[in-house]
Structure 1
């Protein structure tokens, strides 16, 4: 997404905004949704509502990218950013019911394995798509073709096949269409599961009372409070994440098709790491996953910062480490975050626990956008340094976490 906005606008601030919109959109509605669903035995209808809206938004993004000319790039950027935010918000609506259904369906000791397998399968598809389809859609013949194209020629795919690729922005429109198809498939599968029915609160409480309850939980539940501080510091460590690809294109002069390889490397590293994260979670606990991943947070920025000092012919190979380590940490954080959040949340108050935390984190979700504003003043290097320092703080916060699994009957906040 960042590569698309950068190519369309050449604006670092909008690149940062793109990186923030997904997080912000995903987080902001969750507290409101938690208030709507906490007292309801069945949460699946709200998942269906959120995912239906998400698929619709991606359809609009596809059509807008196909039919709005790049000469009117401000309109195209506006349509993309608005509906990208709405798609993320729709995903936020579906997250609370999704997490609650998963927590009711899978025992606590199996949750780390479930989330690691979920990430493994998703990353496997992402790697295949990144290596072949994304690189094909984004390559420019003047800057070289994908490595696998030579092998394709041996099977009779000639120049006419190479020339059939679409120009910008139609190539991205096809990629957005693939996103729409995959989101629809995931929606269709999950919507057909049988949701377990567990005890819930008797009635919906006023949202103001639920907000006070969230504040009370934050004050009295030390595990919850420490976890929120860990996630806040983790957001600041990711301030440079949307700028790794633009930095490589601008400073290392890599061709745009390399973005597909970056995606594939991150996905492949994530595939391998998910086996490791599932084992660590079951053997040593979810806290260990969060400590290890936070210890790795600083490496992508360090690699990016030091890559320019290497000989030109080594820079790109070395730079792949940014996305390899990023893929490892992203998968580790997703497995660790989701599992730890479910484990420390009592069943009756689980929607409030999740919704309140993610609403608080909206305040730091615009960190990448702030990074985009800072780039003209401190440069990419300054951004990488901020990320490294924040990563150290995140590691300290992770070390303060404790391994805890609350039973379904435990609903106190102490």
Structure 2
């Protein structure tokens, strides 16, 4: 891509008179902002497609069921995938702080993620039962740890290369473009379901997802990143523990952590919508395609709106999206419990998942934009690492809620999580603006 074309398109996408004004980055980085904008857009787009095609809430759960993995292992894949990438980030951040250029940390992490997903593909092809289940868990842990490298590094690179008031739009466009690709993947899956697809089809889907992280690493390596500040890193564990002190000393950051913890409802409720659909509609392959399409459509339609909204007030994005999640969950609970004519409707669960996808997109985009805009330099790295580490620990505790499915109804779990979402919406609204 030529820089002139990138600059023109950059100005049009941001569509403001001050589109070339760089806020919160230096002049050298400002000159390369258009090119870096599209490198980040393309790299993040392909990884989001890879995430969808290996999503533990849908695809991996589906595959583990097909290879006859024990149910108790399936219940662990969502919290392991999420918390595994978050818990070690405070240690990872100490290492990243020593690097003047941090894009290479992302590149290494992306290649390791690719290898881990490919290993899951081979496991799917050649093993089954408990062995397959445990191997998938092991490779998912490897994937999650590698993801932690990318998570911390990517937010720091974003803050160094893209100016404020452009970051939310970049995330929004990324989700929208990847949503189109996800939509195509879902349609292809529905088309393939007309045939007698076997385990090979799902394994090859995983292999394709693996290749997307390699593509992402190649594109990310092209980003023009200038050396930044470095400090710390000599004693990662000691510095990590010292850094945890910001939760106590920084009231603003502490309030963000509390709000973000309550916002987990949008992620934790998702598998239960899928389980409700399986109970009512069966386990045919086209159902998986419907949920993938619903999620893709949600991203395409909502992400640009959330992105522009986040550049004005990312904390309000979190509040609105959490409120949508909560009211949706309460509505689904009422329908399933008291309106049997609607409860048996085949369209109910994909539509509900579509709305949940819109809300979850807003929650993720809002809180990511918020934490990046809260600070700059190494302080930003600390905020990202500490918040993700704490949320990872909370996920391990609350993620086990899926085990409650045998004690209370799935719709009951959705209701409980939705009530937490209402509180999360309120706590997000009470946060100060950072834009």
TM-score range, shorter chain: 0.7 to 0.9
Deviation, 1:8, is 3.8
Deviation at 1:62, TM superposition (A): 1.2
1:166 aligns with 2:201: no
Instruction: Decide whether the 8 Å contact of 2:110 with 2:216 is kept in 1.
Output: no
Q: How does 1:56-67 map to 2 (within 5 A)?
A: 56-67=115-126
CA distance in 2, matches of 1:373, 1:252: 22
Change (3 A) 1:10 1:215: closer
Which position in structure 2 is the counterpart of 1:196? 226
Alignment of 1:251-400 (within 5 A): 251-253=280-282, 255-282=284-311, 284-308=312-336, 309-311=339-341, 315-366=345-396, 369-400=399-430
Separation (CA, whole Å) in 2 of partners of 1:60 and 1:176: 9
Q: Deviations over 1:338-375 (max 9, x none)?
A: 11111112313222221111111122212564222111
Q: Could you tell me which residue of structure 2 aligns to residue 4 of structure 1? A: 63
Cα separation, partners in 2 of 1:208 and 1:269, compared to 1, 3 Å: closer
Show the counterpart of 2:174: 118
- Runs (5+) with no aligned partner, structure 1: 140-144, 146-161, 406-414
Q: What's the offset of the Cα at 1:276? A: 1.0
Q: Quote the Cα distance in structure 1 between the aligned partners of 2:245 and 2:413.
A: 36
In the alignment of these two chains, the number of paired residues is 374
Secondary structure of 1:109's counterpart equals coil
Q: Deviation digits for residues 110-168 of structure 1, max 9, x if unmatched?
A: 11111111111111111110122x2244x2xxxxx4xxxxxxxxxxxxxxxx4xx531x
Q: 1:367 to 1:296 in 2, by over 3 A?
A: farther
- 8 Å CA contact 1:270–1:327 kept in 2: the answer is yes
Alpha-carbon displacement from aligned partner over 1:314-339 (angstroms, at most 9, x marks no partner)? 62212222211121122212211211
User: How many angstroms apart in 2 are the aligned matches of 1:236 and 1:262?
Assistant: 18
1:155 match = none
Partner of 1:30: 89
Distance (Å, rounded) in 2 between the aligned partners of 1:371 and 1:251: 22
Residues 300 and 321, structure 1, Cα contact 8 Å, conserved in 2 = no
What's the counterpart of residue 242 of structure 1? Answer: 271
1:192, 1:319 → 2: CA distance? 42
Segment of structure 1 superposing worse, 300-309 or 86-95:
300-309
RMSD over aligned Cα atoms: 2.2
**Do 1:13 and 1:369's aligned partners in 2 also have CA atoms closer than 8 Å?**
no
Checking the alignment, whether the CA contact within 8 Å between 1:50 and 1:90 is kept in structure 2 is yes
Note the alpha carbon deviations across 1:216-235, whole angstroms, 9 max, x for none: 32122222111100111122
Partner of 1:21: 80
Q: Give the Cα–Cα distance (whole angstroms) in 1 for the partners of residues 396 and 417 of structure 2.
A: 14
Of residues 113, 131, 135, the one that matches 1:54 is: 113
Is 1:127–1:263's contact at 8 Å kept on the other side of the alignment? yes
Q: Is the 8 A contact 1:16 1:243 kept in 2?
A: no
Alpha-carbon separation, structure 2, partners of 1:243 and 1:384: 7
Structure 2 vs 1, CA of residues 364 and 6 (structure 1 numbering), >3 Å: closer, same or farther?
Answer: farther
Q: Is the 8 A contact 2:309 2:317 kept in 1?
A: yes
Pick the aligned partner of 1:224 from 253, 258, 261.
253
Shift of 1:10: 7.3
Name the residue aligned to 1:81: 137
Q: How far did residue 208 of structure 1 move? A: 4.5
Q: Give 1:31 deviation, angstroms.
A: 1.0
Q: Using the TM superposition, give the Cα deviation of residue 2 of structure 1 relative to its aligned residue in structure 2, in angstroms.
A: 2.2
Q: Which is further off, 182-191 or 236-245? A: 236-245
Q: 1:207 aligns with which of 217, 229, 236?
A: 236
Structure 1 contact 214–353 (Cα < 8 Å) conserved: no
For normalisation by structure 2, the TM-score amounts to 0.80
Quote the Cα distance in structure 1 between the aligned partners of 2:332 and 2:72. 19
CA contact (8 A) 1:15 1:242 kept: no
Task: Please state how far the C-alpha of 1:13 moved relative to its aligned partner.
Answer: 3.5
Measured in 1, the distance between the counterparts of 2:106 and 2:131 equals 31
Alpha-carbon separation, structure 1, partners of 2:222 and 2:134: 35
Structure scoring higher RCO (CA < 8 A, sep ≥ 6) equals 1
**CA distance in structure 2 between the partners assigned to 1:300 and 1:82 by the alignment:** 34
Partners of 2:306 and 2:317 within 8 A in 1:
yes
What displacement does 1:237 show?
A: 5.3
The equivalent of 1:175 in structure 2 is 205
Q: Retained in 1: the 8 A contact 2:164–2:373?
A: yes
State the distance in 1 between where 2:406 and 2:95 align.
43
Cα gap change, 1:136 to 1:127, in 2 (>3 Å): same
TM-score (norm 1): 0.84
Contact 1:58–1:180 at 8 Å: present in 2 too?
yes
